Structure 1
Amino acid sequence: MGSISVGKSTVCEALELVLGPERMFRRPVIDEYDFYAAHYQDGDKGPIEIRIDVVLTGLAPDALRRFRSHLRRWSVEKNDFVEGPAEGNQPGGEGEWCLPVAFIGRFNAAEDDFEGGTFFTHPTPVADDLTDEYSGLGSGLKSFTREDKRMVGFLYLRTNRTGNRALSFQRGSLLDTVVRLESESHGQLWEKALQELAEVVLIGDDSPFLKVQTEVRSRVERFLSLTDDPSAVDVRVSDLTREHLREVLRLFLAPLPGAHGVPFNRLSTGSLNLLVFALLTYIAELRGDESVIFAMEEPEIALPPHAQRRLVDFVVQRMGQVIITSHSPYIIEKFDPEHIVVFSRDNTGVLKSNTVALPADFKIKRFRDNRRQFAEAVLARAVLVVEGATEAAVLHAISDFLDADPSIPDYLHLDLAGITIFDAGGDTVVPLYGPVFAAMGKPVFGIHDTPTKPFEASLQQKAKQFTRYQVIPYKGIEALLVEETPIHIQRAFAASARLRDDYPGGDPLPPVANDGDVRDYVLNLLTKRKGTAGGYAALLLAECSRLEHLPQSLVTFLIDVNTDLPNSEIPAVPPTNDAS
C-alpha cells in the first residue's frame, strides 16, 4: 500500500516479468525506462543488468515434484535461505522447501535491442572454459519456462482494464487461457468450433442472399472457371482458421437491468472489472485454487465499497496467495497489520517499504477498533494525530481557510499535502501512535490539550517519536477557541446558532451580555455540541472572514506542520516493554 507513484505497480509488473507465463512473448520484453534513471549501459558502454529475484514458498505437491532439483530450504524466522546440510534434496532439516527464480534482462549492443529471460537460480552452475554458455544471458542458469510458470499459477489483474485484450480470444488473453485449460480435459475446442462453423449454412433456399450468390456466380464464370459444386461461390462466417476465429469471436453479456446481450466492450467500467476478475477466478479453479498466486492492482476502480469488500473476501478465502495494491481504505481495513506493507519513494526515486509492525506494547484491539483510520493512515504521506473529533473538525476548517488565503501562497491544504488526521480518542492516547506511524516510515504530528495529570515516563518517551508534537495550554479545544477568537465573531456565532434546528436549548445570549458572559455562553454551546457530526466548533470558525480571526496557536501549528513536511525526518523508534 502507499500513495500514488511510489512503486506499487512496479512491484506487480516485476513479479509478472518473473512469473507471468505470457510475459516473455512481448516485444521488447523490457525497454530503456525499466532501468533506474534509464541507464542501461555503464561508463564503458557495457550492459547493466536488471535482476529480479523471487522466492516461492508454500508449493503444491505437484510443484515440489516437478521442481525438486531446483529447491532450497527457506527459514521464515531468518527470512533467508538455510545454508549447509539442509541444501539440495536431503531429507529433514530446518525450514520449508522453496523455489528461487529470477528474471534477468539487459541491453544487447550487437542486436541493438533489449533481451530478457527467466531462470532457476539454484543450483548455481559451475563455469566451463570449454563453452560460451556461461557468458550469455543467465550465465548458464537453466531456463524457467512457460510451462514451469503455468505450474506456479501466477494471475495478474491489472489496474487499466478495458477488457479489449483480456476478454478477447487472442493468444495469451484470459479467454484463450480458459480455452486452453478446458481443452486439456475436454479435447480440442478450437478444432470442434471450426468443424461446427464449417457446417453452418448461411445461404439456403429461402435466404435473401440466394439471388446475390446466383448473380455473382454467373458473372464470375464469364472470366473464371468454377467447379460444379453449388457452393463454389459461398458465404462463410469467417476464414475458418484458428487465427481469424480468435479475431472475430466476441463474448456477449446481458447484465441487469436490461434484457439484451451486448459485446463485452460495451459494458460499464465496473462491469468490465468484475468480468475480468470472474474469468481470473475461473482460471484459478481450473488450475487448483491452492496453487495460485493472485495479484490484483487497485481492484476498487469503479466498484462500490460493498463490491470491494466482497471481492477481497473471495480471493483471500479461495486463492493460495493474494497480492493486492490499493488506495481504498475499504480494502486495506480487511487485512491485519502483519499482512500490510507500506511503499514509499525518496527524492532520489529509491523504492522503500515498511511493514505495519505494531509495537509489542500496543494492544491489537486498539488497531481493530480503528481499522478504517489505520487504512487511511497507511495511504497517507504523513499522519496528524489528534485527541478527538472536535480537534479534527477544527484543524480541517483552519486548513481550508489557510489554503484559500492568498497571503500564504506556500501553504498546502492537509489533503493536498497528503496528511490524514487520526482521531486517537483521548489526550492520553495520542502519544501511543507516535511510534506506530513513525515505524511505517511516515512523518507523524501530534496535538492535544493539557492532560488532567502529567503523563507517565513511558508516554513521554513515545511522544518524542513525533516529528512535531504540541500540547495546547488549555483543558480542552473549546477553551482555546473561546480565548483565541474575537468576541464579535463569538457574538455572531451565538446569534446564528440560536436559529439552528439542532440548537441544544436554553436561554439566548442577552444583547447586553459582557465579554465574559459571551465566552461562557459560547463555551457551553461548543461543549454540548462536540465532535464532527453536528459539531459547533467548525461553525464558529465559519464566522471568521479574516486570517487574524482564527485561533492563532492552531494557525501557527498547521503552518509549522506544512513547513516540516518536505524535510521531516522520522526519529528512531527505541524498543519499549511497557504496557499501554
Structure 2
Amino acid sequence: MRVRRLKITNFRGVSQGCIDFSGHTLLVGGNNVGKSTVCEALDLVLGPERLFRRPVVDEHDFHCGRYLTEDGAPVEIRIEAILVDLSEEATRRFGGHLRRWDDQAGTFIDERENGLDQADAPGVVWALPLLFVGRYDRDEDDFVGNTFFDHPTKELDALDEETEIKLGQGRVPFTRVHKRLCGFVFLRTLRTGSRALSLQRGSLLDSVLKLGGSGAVEMWQDTLGRLQALDPAIGEIEQLKQIRAEVRSRMGRFVNLAPGDNSTAFFASDLTREHLREVVRLFIAAQPGQHLVPFGRLGTGSINLLVFALLTFIAELKDKQSVIFAMEEPEIALPPHTQRRVTRFVLAEMGQSIVTSHSPYVIEQFDASQIVILNRDEGGALTGKPIDAQAVKPKTYRTERRQFAEAILSRAVLVVEGSTEASLFPVASSIMEDSLPADSYMHFDLAGVSVFDAGADNAVPRHGPIFSALGKLAFGFYDKPNAAFGQDSLEKLKSYTQVWESPEKGIENVLVKQMPIAVVRRFLNEVKDRSDYPAVGAYDPAAGDADAAALATKVLKARKGEAYGYAAMLIAQCQTAAELPATIREILEAIHKTLSAMPEEIAAPVPGDFEDLPG
C-alpha cells in the first residue's frame, strides 16, 4: 500500500496544496516551506495513535490561526489522501469504499463521462480515498477531528445531532483498526524522542507490544499485581516504615483510618496502567561502559539510532513491504556513513518511504524521479513538483549525485566548466568576505550558493534547463568557445538567471591577465619549491613581468584541476578583493546582489525577473 496523492486545506502554514507521490519520495525545500506539515498531515489521516491526542487539533493547526470566519462559522482543516497498491486484505476489508483510479491521469474514472466503460483499462486500479476533517465545535467549546472513508458519501440527516456524523457529513469513520492495516509509521525528529521510547500510548514501544501479539492486557495486570505484592514492600524500608507510623499516629487524630499497620503504605507507582506507562523507562548500557542508564542519558545520535532500530522492528512485525514509512530529517546527530546506511535500509525494506532531509548524504540515495521540490507562496499555497525527468536525465543524475544533492539544498547554483573553476570560486569568495565590509558581501557558504562542475567544455548550456527545472537561481560561467554556440545551446543558456562568457580562452589566461603582477609573483614564489611543481621552467624573481606572467600561465595549465589546486592557490595570494581578477569579482558581486534582492526561502523567480534591479 502506498500514498498516491495528498491534498491539504487550511492546515498550519498551508492554505491549500496538492502533492503527488510516485513511490519512495524525498521532500526537499527551504525551512518552513511545509515539509513537516506534509508529514503531520499524513499522520492525521493515517496515524493509528494520532487521534489519542486531545484536542486532536488546536488553534495553531489552522492556517494563520483562523478557525472561525468573520460570521462565526467554523473553518475546516481538510486533508485528503488517496491510497493505491492495496493488499488483498485491504481490498477485501475496504471493498465498499474503493474507487477505480486512473494512475497515469491521476483521476477517478467515475468523474468522467462514460467513465465506467474504462474501469478495466490499462493503468486503472482500485484506490482508497480518505478524508480527515478538523474544526472548532461551538457547542462543545472544543476542537474535534477524525478520519473518514471519503467514499461513498451520503446526505446528512438534518435531525442527526451526533458530532461524529456531522463532522464527516455522513461519511463512515476510518478507525484506528483500519489505520493499523495501512501500516503507517512516522518517525519525527528527535524533539519527540523521549515519548517515542516510553510506554505511553502511541509510542514506539507501545506499538511493539500491540503488534507482538496477545498478552498486553495480562502484562499490565500482572505487573500491577507484582508491584502491589512486593516482598518486602517498599514501605517496609526502615526509614519509610517510621514515616508510615508517624503518619498513622498524627492523621489518626483527625481521620478515621483503617485498623492495623497497613492503613498507610508506599508503592512504586499509582498502581494504574496509565501511570506505569508514564514512569516505566528503558535502560541501556552502551560500550565502553557497562552501567545501565535511562535511554535519555545516551548521546543524541545513539537515541536516534535506537528509535530507528525500534521502527525497523515495527516494520518487520507489520511485514516490511506493507509499511508506509514517513521520516523527518534522519541525519540529525548521525555521521554521514550512518545517514547513508539508514536511508538505504529504508528504501530497500519499506513499501513506501516519505522522507524529509537537509542532508546531501541522504538526498544522494534517492533517484531524481523520487525527489519532490516543495514551494509555498506568501498566501500559503503549497506546490510539490517532481524533478522533470526530461530535464534531468537519470544517467546525468547518477553520475553527479553528490553535486546534485548539494545543489538541491542550495538557494543558487553557479555552473562552471571544470574542476579548476569549481575550486577557485570558494577561495575568491573568502577573499571577498575577509576584505569587504560585513554588510556588503556574504560568502557563498553562508548565502547558500553551491558550485557545480559541469565536467567538460561546452557543458554549461545543457545544465541551464536542469537547474531551472529544480527551481533554482542558476548562474553560468563558461570558457570562450572555439566556435559559436548553436541555436540549441543558446536557448538553453536562456534558462540561466545570468551567464558570463570568459573574455579569454582558458581560465589560466583570465587569472594571470586580470591580476596584479605582484600577486602572480607571490604565487610563483609560493609554489616553486613544491614537489608537484611542473617541469615548465624555474621561477627567477629577477625575471621581467612578462616572463613571470608567461611562466605562471604555463604552471597553471600544467597543473589544471582541483587535484592540484594551483588556480585556487593563485587566488589565495590575493590580499584584498581589489586584487581578484575582474571577471571573477564581477560574477561574485552579481550573485551576491541577486540573492540580496530576494528574501531567503522564497521560490526562485524565472530568468529575466532581475532586469530591473538597480545598478
- TM-score normalised by structure 2 residue count: 0.84
The residue type paired with residue 133 of structure 2 is I
**Shift in Å at residue 391 of structure 1?**
0.9
Aligned partners of 1:354 and 1:441 also within 8 Å: no
Greater alpha carbon shift after TM alignment, 40-49 vs 216-225:
216-225
Letter in 1 for 2:203: S
Q: Which residue is equivalent to 1:291?
A: 322
Alpha-carbon distance in 1 for matches of 2:578, 2:304: 50
Distance 1:78 1:500, change over 3 A: same
SS in 2 for 1:352: strand
Kindly provide the amino acid, as one letter, of the partner of residue 286 in structure 2: P
Partner amino acid for 1:209? Answer: I
Q: How far is 1:298 from its partner?
A: 0.3
Note closer, same or farther for the CA distance 1:392–1:91 as it changes in structure 2 (3 Å cut).
closer
Comparing 116-125 with 39-48, which one deviates more in the overlay? 39-48
3-state SS in 2 of match to 1:96: strand
- 2:372 pairs with 324, 341, 348, which one? 341
In 1, Cα distance between the equivalents of 2:362 and 2:295? 26
- Alignment partner, residue 23 of structure 1: 50
Q: After superposition, what is the alpha-carbon deviation per residue over 1:436-478, rounded to whole angstroms, capped at 9, x for unaligned?
A: 1111222211111112333333222212211111111222111
Query: What is aligned with 1:570?
Result: 606
Secondary structure at the aligned position of 1:137 is classed as helix
| Residue type at the aligned position of 1:78 | A
Q: 1:215 to 1:518 in 2, by over 3 A?
A: closer
Match of 2:511 in 1: 481
CA distance in 2 between partners of 1:176 and 1:87 (Å) = 44
User: For the Cα contact (< 8 Å) 1:73–1:94, is it kept in 2?
Assistant: no
Q: Which residue of 2 aligns with 1:326?
A: 357
Q: 1:179 to 1:400 in 2, by over 3 A?
A: same
Matched, 1:55 2:91: no
Which digits, 9 at most, give the CA deviation of each residue in 1:363-407, with x for residues without a partner?
A: 432211101111111111222111112112222122222233445
Q: Which residue of 2 aligns with 1:243?
A: 274
Q: How far apart in 2 are the matches of 1:158 and 1:548?
A: 49
| 1:276 lines up with 2:307 in the alignment | yes
Q: Write the mapping of 1:441-460 to structure 2, written as runs, cut at 5 A.
A: 441-460=471-490
Matched-pair contact (CA < 8 Å) for 1:100–1:122: yes
Mapped partners of 1:49, 1:233: distance in 2: 52
**Residues of 1 paired with 2:248 and 2:161: CA distance?**
61
Q: Partner of 1:238: helix, strand, or coil?
A: coil
> Are 1:2 and 2:35 matched, yes or no?
no
**Farther off after superposition, 305-314 or 281-290:** 281-290
Are residues 27 and 221 of structure 1, via their aligned partners in 2, closer, same or farther at CA, if it must alter by over 3 Å? closer
Aligned to 2:612: none
**Rounded Cα–Cα distance in structure 1 between residues aligned with 2:490 and 2:435:** 36
Pair 1:248–1:78, CA change in 2 (3 A): same
Q: 1:126 to 1:233 in 2, by over 3 A?
A: closer
Contact preservation (8 Å) 1:54, 1:101: yes
The alpha-carbon distance between structure 1 residues 209 and 43, as it changes in their structure 2 partners (threshold 3 A), is closer
Aligned residues: 567
Q: Is residue 2:492 matched to residue 1:465?
A: no
**1:342 partner SS:** strand
Task: Tell me by how many angstroms 1:504 deviates.
Answer: 3.3
Q: Are 1:126 and 2:161 counterparts? A: no
Alignment partner, residue 578 of structure 1: none
Q: Name the amino acid aligned to 2:109.
A: V
Task: Establish whether residue 403 from structure 1 lines up as the match of residue 433 from structure 2.
Answer: yes
Following superposition, the deviation at residue 189 of structure 1 comes to 2.2
Which residue of structure 1 aligns with residue 133 of structure 2?
A: 104
**Residue 517 (structure 1) aligned to one of 529, 540, 547:** 547
CA gap of 1:347–1:519, structure 2 versus 1, over 3 A, is farther
* CA-to-aligned-CA distance 1:314-334 (integer Å, 9 cap, x gap): 222221111110111111111
Other-structure match for 1:170:
200
When residues 43 and 214 of structure 1 are mapped into structure 2, their CA distance, relative to the original with a 3 A threshold, is closer
Tell me whether 1:116 sits opposite 2:152 in the alignment: no
User: What does residue range 297-316 of structure 1 map to in structure 2 within 5 Å?
Assistant: 297-316=328-347
For 1:143 and 1:54, locate their aligned partners in 2 and report how far apart those are by CA, in whole Å: 14
Partner residue, 2:20: none
Q: TM-score, normalised by structure 1?
A: 0.89
User: Retained in 2: the 8 A contact 1:120–1:143?
Assistant: yes
Alpha carbons of 1:347 and 1:520: their partners in 2 closer, same or farther (altered >3 Å)?
A: farther
Which residue of structure 2 lines up, in the alignment, with residue 576 of structure 1?
Answer: none
Q: Among the aligned pairs, what percent are the same residue?
A: 47
> For the Cα contact (< 8 Å) 1:2–1:380, is it kept in 2?
no
Distance 2:553 2:121 in 1: 72
Q: Is the 8 A contact 1:203 1:210 kept in 2?
A: no
Deviation at 1:87, TM superposition (A): 6.4
Which residue, 520, 523, 532 being the options, matches 1:493? 523
Match 1:545 to one of 552, 555, 575: 575
> Which of 73, 87, 91 is the aligned partner of 1:64?
91
Distance 1:517 1:358, change over 3 A: farther
Does the CA contact (< 8 Å) of 1:382 and 1:418 recur in 2? yes
Provide Cα deviations, 1:100-119, integer angstroms capped at 9, x if missing partner: 11222223344444332222
Which of residues 256, 267, 274 in structure 1 aligns to 2:298?
267
Q: Deviations over 1:20-49 (max 9, x none)?
A: 122223233223333333333334333322
Q: Retained in 2: the 8 A contact 1:484–1:551? A: yes
| Alpha-carbon distance in structure 2 between the residues aligned to 1:352 and 1:443 | 18
Pair 1:504-2:534 in alignment: yes
Question: 1:136 is matched with which residue?
Answer: 166
Higher relative CO (Cα under 8 Å, sequence separation at least 6) belongs to 2
